[in-house]
Amino acid sequence: MFVIGTAGHVDHGKSALVKALTGIDPDRLAEEKERGMTIDLGFAWLTLPSKRQVSIVDVPGHERFIRNMLAGAGGVDLALFVVAADEGVMPQTKEHLSILDILHVKGGIVALTKKDLVDNDWLSLVTSDVKALLEGTTLEKAPIVPVSSVTGEGLAQLLEVIDGELDSTQPRHDLGRPRLPIDRVFTLAGFGTVVTGTLVDGHLSLGQEVEIVPQGIRSRIRGLQTHRQKIGEAVPGSRVAANIAGVAPEEIQRGNILTLPGLLKPTIAIDVVLRLIKDSPSTLSHNAMVTFHAGTQETPARIRLLDRGELGPGESAWAQIRTEQPVCVVKGDFFVIRSTKGTIGGGEVVETHAKRHKRFHAQTLERLAVLEKGTPEEILLKALETSEPCEMNALVKRVTFPEGEIRSIVVDLASKGSVIPLGGKTLERGTLLYSFRGWTRLVEKACSALESYHLQHPLRRGAPKEELRSRLGLHPQTFSLVVQRMGEKGILAEEGATVRLPSHEIKLSREQQKAVEEFIHALEKNPYSPPTDIPLDPELLSLLVDQRRVVKVGDDVVFSAGAYDKMVKLVVEHIRAKGKITVAEVRDLLGTSRKYALALMEHLDQQRITRRVGDERVLR
């Protein structure tokens, strides 16, 4: 399906031409019919000689309604550029052409309307003026067809030319991420809320769950129509009316987008390549306020120029646009900016959720250049590097290629080691991805953190996982996958709740070894009532506990491992025989004091070996 959009100066016969071609009056408002002037978007459709059906969006030409014109120009595949033969090129003729050029509407036809009002010499003069106007624009090679909506002269030829132009027009790509920029909202008796727009980037189906962004309103498609015909599925490039459930019309407005849940994330900061039109009424300064238009969206915005202080007519620059209202755009979308003086320029979205950049920063400018014109592999890697670790499904949203192509590129890059997938190599939608550079930085950071920990705590077998996770600033699930990968590659060793460098070994000095031996010997001399005042470095004690040479059952009560195991065995055997045991019975059983018996039993409760019932213990 294709969409044709009109463009041109007010009162040059755009709506009359649409009606003459289709039999449908695109002026639907009473005010439009009374004033004889298009105010808002109008819609029609026709069947071409080839039997191909196309949609038509008719836009207002008056300068006061340029914002409405912009809302309809975003989804156009072929421009029907209208110039009245009796008036020739006028101010909005130029402004509309600039907008089509900024939006990269590459296909177009010029309809010289009102042919019946001029002679051939005048018609030839206007044709020359139009050709000169089109030079250097995306419509430079557009065919020019003189027509009369009154007499019908040239209309058949115009339809043939439209057919021929569409033969060489590339259909909309199905990227699997449907977006319906809403240009109209209304209610229909017996049906409820209906929204219309031009569908891009994917399919919509009857019964499908959808989301209205940026509000985040969830709904379901109750009905779909194209050209007033019910359909079960809408395809990219078609004009669509969607009846949605459970949403009041006042909750939606022009500029919202109907899409799949979770597919589009609103943003207020985008990186762009920005160009001022040659006829821009003014230069653009850093931090200038403008009106930003993308699709059917419109919002005030501030321009931050990243590589210069001022942008002149016809010049291009890297910029960051910060919008006052959240917008939903994807990489590759085209946009227009306007000031109080009119349309001044526009460009292409390069990064949708941009961080604040330093101006004149070489690495930032280099990255933006790659995102704009790099190979698919380079673009994907740069997109990954700006948001890693990145889930596969999130990466799909950040670049403009079909999901299948992205998956193929990632598989190839992973085989070369340029992309590091975590959690297996199946590359499911939730698979976490790092770039080689990002992974290398993470490995260096992890090794540095562990090396520092080992120097600070040489007698500990490793760092607590949670401490390393905190130093790396990773989400728990991500950290688990990172540790798994680093363990598989021998970068670190995982031991229970700790991690260490594989090269880390605990080595005791002669003095430390002597202190350890004296401590354990003292414990074993009176195993069930060991001394509690033996001085020992806390780090050495932690090491002995970690190696299970001793068991610490209280703040100041430590048993040798052998004595502890025997005591536990005796207590368990007693309970099995008697069904229960008291602290006093433990004291007598072990020939120790209440202090040690109580500390032991509280420890066994904590270890879930015993359970306290009143003053007695039973086995769990």
- pLDDT of residue 36 exceeding 70: no
- pLDDT of residue 588 exceeding 90: yes
Name the band, by pLDDT with cuts 50, 70 and 90, for residue 425.
low
Among the ranges given (368-382, 477-491, 569-583), the one the predictor scored with the smallest mean pLDDT: 368-382
pLDDT in tens, 125-140: 999 999 999 999 999 9
Side chain identity, residue 442: L
In this prediction, residues 50-77 reach a mean pLDDT of: 76
Cβ-in-10-Å burial (0-12, 13-18, 19+) of 31 comes to exposed
Q: What is the DSSP letter of 117?
A: G
pLDDT in tens, 278-299: 988 889 999 999 999 998 999 9
The whole-number pLDDT of residue 62 equals: 56
Q: Which residue has the higher pLDDT, 172 or 74?
A: 172
- What is the share, in percent, of the chain residues with pLDDT greater than 70? 95
Domains of the chain: residue spans and CATH: 2-167 (3.40.50.300), 179-259 (2.40.30.10), 267-363 (2.40.30.10), 515-619 (1.10.10.10)
6 close to 18: Cβ distance less than 8 angstroms? yes
Q: How far apart are CA 331 and CA 371, in angstroms?
A: 9
**What tokens were used for 358?**
């330093």
Q: How far apart are CA 589 and CA 128, in angstroms?
A: 114
In this prediction, residues 192-206 reach a mean pLDDT of: 92
In this prediction, residues 572-596 reach a mean pLDDT of: 94
**What tokens were used for 163?**
């057919």
What's phi and psi for 614, nearest 5 deg? 65, -125
The whole-number pLDDT of residue 177 equals: 87
Side chain identity, residue 346: G
pTM score: 0.72
Adjacent-strand bridge partners of 44: 56
